[in-house]
């Protein structure tokens, strides 16, 4: 293996960042993708396995997006609660629960 090949495959951050690109385009000089069931990488009998793998991958990505959406909505609800339940009462005092305290300027 040449020096550039060793550098790219054996150094930690480069190999980690290059792996997703490799999955979509394979090695230089080879055609197809690891997500394409018609690629010469797979046997014709493995087409259903590749499609199943792709379907589960899409589902995992969608669930991750849903979790991040849920967390954003949760954060907005907590912030709204903090604003509504702030220590300033309706009479303009800092202690809204008892009505005692100094007026807010």
Within-domain flag for 20: no
Q: Can you tell me the mean pLDDT for 74-101?
A: 66
Within-domain flag for 84: yes
| Number of domains making up the chain | 1
Supply the pLDDT for residue 91.
55
Within-domain flag for 79: yes
Within-domain flag for 81: yes
Supply the pLDDT for residue 30.
82
Within-domain flag for 53: yes
- Of the pLDDT bands very low, low, confident and very high (cuts 50, 70, 90), residue 99 is low
Q: What pTM was estimated for this model as a whole?
A: 0.54
Within-domain flag for 100: yes
In the predicted structure, residue 56 carries a pLDDT above the cut 80:
yes
Within-domain flag for 51: yes
Express each pLDDT in 4-37 by its tens digit.
777 766 776 766 777 778 788 877 778 888 888 9
Residue 92 belongs to what domain range?
A: 45-105
Integer Cα distance of 83 and 40 in angstroms: 59
Phi, psi angle pair for 103, to nearest 5°: -65, 150
């Amino acid at each position: 293996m040449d020096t550039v090949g060793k550098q790219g495959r054996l150094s930690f951050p480069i190999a980690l960042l290059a792996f997703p690109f490799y999955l979509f385009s394979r090695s230089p000089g080879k055609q197809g993708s690891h997500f394409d069931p018609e690629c010469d990488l797979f046997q014709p009998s493995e087409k259903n396995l590749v499609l199943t793998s792709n379907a589960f991958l899409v589902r995992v990505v969608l669930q991750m997006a849903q979790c991040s959406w849920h967390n954003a909505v949760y954060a907005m609800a907590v912030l709204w609660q903090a604003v509504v339940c702030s220590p300033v009462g309706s009479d303009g005092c800092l202690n809204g629960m008892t009505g005692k305290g100094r007026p807010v300027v």
